[in-house]
Every structure is written in C-alpha cells, then in structure tokens.
C-alpha cells in the first residue's frame, strides 16, 4: 500500500510539473514575457502575494530538508523564479531518494523529515515557536487585508476581463502548489471530512488558510518541541516525542 502511494505521488507530481511547463511555454508564446507593467493589475498583485506566501511556506520546508545552505539557496531561488515547476521537481526528487524500506514504511514521514531527524527528535525552543507563530500570523493577516482591500476597491475577481493569459498561468501555478500543500494536510488530518474541509478552504482562500493551518499546528506543539514536528501527523509526532523522552 505504501509503495503504491509513492508511485501515485511520483506520477501526480511529474504530470503536474509537466502541465505547468507546457502552460508556461504556451503563455510565453502567445503573450510574451511577464515582466510588463500593464500585467500588474490589482487582482494580479493580490494573486502574486497569495502565490508567494505559499512559496515561502514551501521554501521553509526546503531549507529545513537541505543539509547544505548553497543547495537550499539554489532551490529557493528556483522556487521564486519557477514556482510549482520547482515544487513538483523537488518533491519528485525527494520521492526517488526514498529507499525501498522507507517507501514501504511510512513514506510521508521519511519524505517530510531530514534523514537525521528520522532517527531521533531533537529539542526546540519556545522562542522559535513564538517567532514562527508571529511570522505566519502576520503573513495571514497581510493576505486577508490585501484580499479585503482588493475586493472593496476593485470588486469581484470573477470577471472575464481579469483572466488574461498570464493571470490564468499564475492561477494554475498557484493551485498546483495548493495541491502539494493539500497532500500534506491529507497526511496530517485524522479523517476525510476534516481533510476535505481544509482542502476546500485552501482552494477558496489560499495562503490565508495555509498560514492559519501552520499557526494552528504550531500552537499544538509543546514549548520545547522542535519546529519540524509540525510536519508530522499526531501519531508520528507523539512517537517522536516519546523517543526523545525515553532516550
């Protein structure tokens, strides 16, 4: 079952990355380069902010996963420049790095954590938790304020004139990253109803919900838990904490 999960995830992310590559090339061909002032409409600006807040969440995971700062910086630059193409490529590479044993036994656990942290949980600090909670709370509030301001000032986004080629490409890019985050939410949540609710909220409200979800997970940690336990579901988080106390 676990092996089939890994195969499905590899296939899904290869397909999604390919879709985004085709979308990018097609949009470049029909609408030119995106570095134009006329493209920066209010709703495009709001969408880009939404997009890059989700990119920041994914970048934090990438920085945590990489043992080399050079590699981490390179991946983050690629994330900023190529969005979900890089996200899908990075996740797919991490899936291919899993050993047969890891693929057969809790593949999401081994995918999400660094190799050294799968051995034994370390200790964290309350300062790190408070700082991370504040950062993601501020980002969520920033996006909420931007959304409300854009709605009140420029009206509904469901307007045919808004959906120019680069806006459509940005939305596809955005929702592929939402798919990646949804896989994580699905792994973490204990039942399908809760998972479905969170995914619907992610689709409707984007990075506002991403930040809210991360803050909620941070608040569930004990003061001296390492921040990376946020990545795990409740069962694996409890097991890691038990290994720490027993060790």
For residue 242, pLDDT beyond 60:
no
The domain tally of the chain equals 1
pLDDT per position as a tens digit, 226-239 = 899 999 987 777 66
Residue 76: alpha-carbon gap to chain centroid: 13
Residue 152 Cα distances to 147, 156, 164, 181, angstroms? 9, 8, 21, 29
How many angstroms separate the CA atoms of 186 and 212, rounded? 16
Nearest to 211 by CA among 111, 141, 148: 141
- Segment 184-205 mean pLDDT: 95
The pLDDT of residue 1 is: 56
Assess contact for 55 and 178: CB atoms under 8 A.
Answer: no
pTM, two decimals, is 0.92
The DSSP call for residue 77 is H
pLDDT per position as a tens digit, 104-148 = 888 999 999 987 776 665 666 788 899 999 999 999 999 999 999
The pLDDT of residue 122 is: 62
- Mean pLDDT for the chain overall: 91
Domain with 222 in it: 2-246
For residue 10, pLDDT beyond 80:
yes
Residue ranges with strand state E in the chain:
none
The pLDDT of residue 245 is: 47
- Say what percent of the chain tops pLDDT 90: 77
Question: What confidence category does residue 86 fall into, taking pLDDT thresholds of 50, 70 and 90?
Answer: very high
């Amino acid at each position: 079952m676990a092996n089939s999960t890994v195969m499905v995830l590899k296939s899904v992310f290869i397909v999604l990355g390919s879709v985004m590559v085709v979308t990018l090339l097609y949009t470049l061909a029909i609408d030119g380069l995106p570095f134009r002032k006329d493209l920066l409409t209010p709703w495009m600006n709001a969408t880009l902010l939404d997009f890059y807040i989700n990119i920041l969440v994914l970048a934090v995971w990438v920085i945590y996963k990489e043992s080399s700062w050079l590699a981490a910086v390179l991946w983050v630059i690629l994330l900023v420049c190529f969005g979900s193409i890089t996200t899908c490529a990075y996740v797919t590479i991490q899936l291919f790095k899993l050993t047969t044993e890891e693929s057969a036994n809790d593949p999401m656990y081994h995918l999400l954590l660094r190799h050294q942290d799968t051995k034994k949980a370390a200790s964290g600090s309350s300062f790190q938790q408070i700082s991370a909670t504040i950062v993601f709370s501020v980002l969520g509030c920033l996006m909420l304020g931007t959304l409300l301001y854009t709605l009140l000032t420029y009206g509904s986004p469901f307007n045919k004139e808004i959906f120019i080629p680069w806006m459509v490409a940005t939305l596809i890019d955005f929702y592929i990253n939402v798919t990646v985050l949804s896989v994580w939410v699905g792994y973490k949540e204990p039942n399908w109803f809760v998972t479905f609710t969170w995914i619907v909220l992610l689709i409707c409200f984007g990075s506002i919900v991403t930040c809210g979800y991360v803050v909620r997970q941070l608040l569930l940690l004990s003061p001296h838990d390492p921040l990376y336990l946020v990545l795990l579901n409740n069962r694996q988080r409890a097991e890691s904490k038990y290994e720490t106390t027993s060790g």
